[in-house]
Amino acid sequence: MAEFSPFAHIAIGMARFIRPDEVTFSGVNSTFAMLACLLAKRAYDFDFTYINVAGGVDPDPSFIPLSSSDPVLSQGSCSIFDNEDFYDLCCRGKMDLCFLGAAQIDGEGRTNVSAIGDWHKPKVRLPGGGGGAVMLPTARRAVTWRTEHSPRSLVQKLDFVTASGGMHGLATPIAIFEKRHGRLALKHWHPDSSLEEVIARTGFSFDAIGATPTPLPTDREREALASLDKHGTFERDANVRLR
Q: Report pLDDT digits (tens) over 136-177.
A: 999 999 999 999 999 999 999 999 999 998 899 999 999 999
List, in order of start, the domains of the chain with CATH numbers.
6-234 (3.40.1080.10)
Neighbours of 71 (CB within 10 A): 12
Band the pLDDT of 243: cuts 50, 70, 90.
confident
Neighbours of 179 (CB within 10 A): 20
- Residue-wise pLDDT tens digits, 45-57: 999 999 999 999 9
- Residue-wise pLDDT tens digits, 111-144: 999 999 999 999 999 988 888 888 999 999 999 9
pLDDT of residue 49: 97
Q: Is 116 exposed, middle or buried (0-12, 13-18, 19+ CB in 10 A)?
A: middle
More confident residue, 81 or 186: 186
For 127, residues 6+ apart whose C-beta sits below 8 A from its C-beta are 113
User: Would strands 104-106 and 111-112 be described as parallel, antiparallel, or unpaired?
Assistant: antiparallel
pLDDT of residue 84: 86
The answer to whether the beta carbons of residues 90 and 136 sit under 8 Å apart is: no
Q: Tell me the β-bridge partners of 104.
A: 112
pLDDT of residue 211: 98
Q: Tell me the β-bridge partners of 105.
A: 111, 154
Band the pLDDT of 86: cuts 50, 70, 90.
confident
% of the chain with per-residue pLDDT over 90: 85
pLDDT of residue 137: 92
**In this model, does residue 30 exceed pLDDT 60?**
yes
Q: What share of the chain is helix, strand, coil (3-state, %, to 5)?
A: 25, 20, 50
Mean pLDDT of 72-96: 91
pLDDT of residue 47: 97
Residues in the chain: 243
pLDDT of residue 127: 87
Amino acid at 208: A
The answer to whether the beta carbons of residues 90 and 98 sit under 8 Å apart is: yes
The answer to whether the beta carbons of residues 201 and 174 sit under 8 Å apart is: yes
CA distance 89 to 112: 23
- Residue-wise pLDDT tens digits, 173-210: 999 999 999 999 999 999 999 999 999 999 999 999 99
